[in-house]
Amino acid sequence: MSKSPEEEHPQKAFGWAARDSSGVLSPFKFSRRHEIVGIVTQVGPEVSKFKVGDKAGVGCMVGSCKSCSSCEQGSENYCPNMILTYNSTYHDGTMTYGGYSDFLVVNQNFVIHFPESLPLDGAAPLLCAGITVYSPMRYYGLSEPGKHLGVVGLGGLGHVAVKFAKAFGLKVTVISTSPNKEKEAIERLGADSFLVSRDPAQMQAAMGTMDGIIDTVSAVHPILPLIGLLKTNGKLVMLGAPEKPLELPVFPLLFGRKTVAGSLIGGIKETQEMIDFAAKHNITADIEVIQMDYVNTAMERLAKADVQYRFVIDVGNTLESP
Half-sphere exposure of 230 (CA within 13 A, CB side): 26
CATH architecture of 129-262: 3-Layer(aba) Sandwich (3.40)
3 state SS of 276: helix
| Residue 7: per-residue pLDDT | 45
pLDDT surpasses 50 at 185: yes
Mean pLDDT confidence for 225-229: 98
Angle 235-144-140 (CA atoms, 0-180°, nearest 5)?
35
| Residue 32: per-residue pLDDT | 41
Residue range 32-47, pLDDT digits in tens: 448 899 999 999 999 9
| Residue 6: per-residue pLDDT | 44
Residue range 132-149, pLDDT digits in tens: 999 999 999 999 999 999
| Residue 248: per-residue pLDDT | 95
Angle 101-274-167 (CA atoms, 0-180°, nearest 5)?
125
Q: What is the CA radius of gyration of the chain?
A: 21
pLDDT surpasses 90 at 13: no
Q: Which residue has the higher pLDDT, 321 or 259?
A: 259
pLDDT surpasses 80 at 295: yes
Q: Which of 229, 260, 255, 265 is nearest to 245 (CA)?
A: 260
User: Class for domain 5-127+267-313, per CATH?
Assistant: alpha beta
pLDDT surpasses 50 at 212: yes
pTM: 0.89
Cβ pair 125, 246 in contact under 8 A: no
197 pLDDT band (50/70/90 cuts)?
Answer: very high
Mean pLDDT confidence for 69-93: 95
Cβ pair 106, 91 in contact under 8 A: no
* Same fold? 5-127+267-313, 129-262: no
Q: Where are the domains of the chain?
A: 5-127+267-313, 129-262
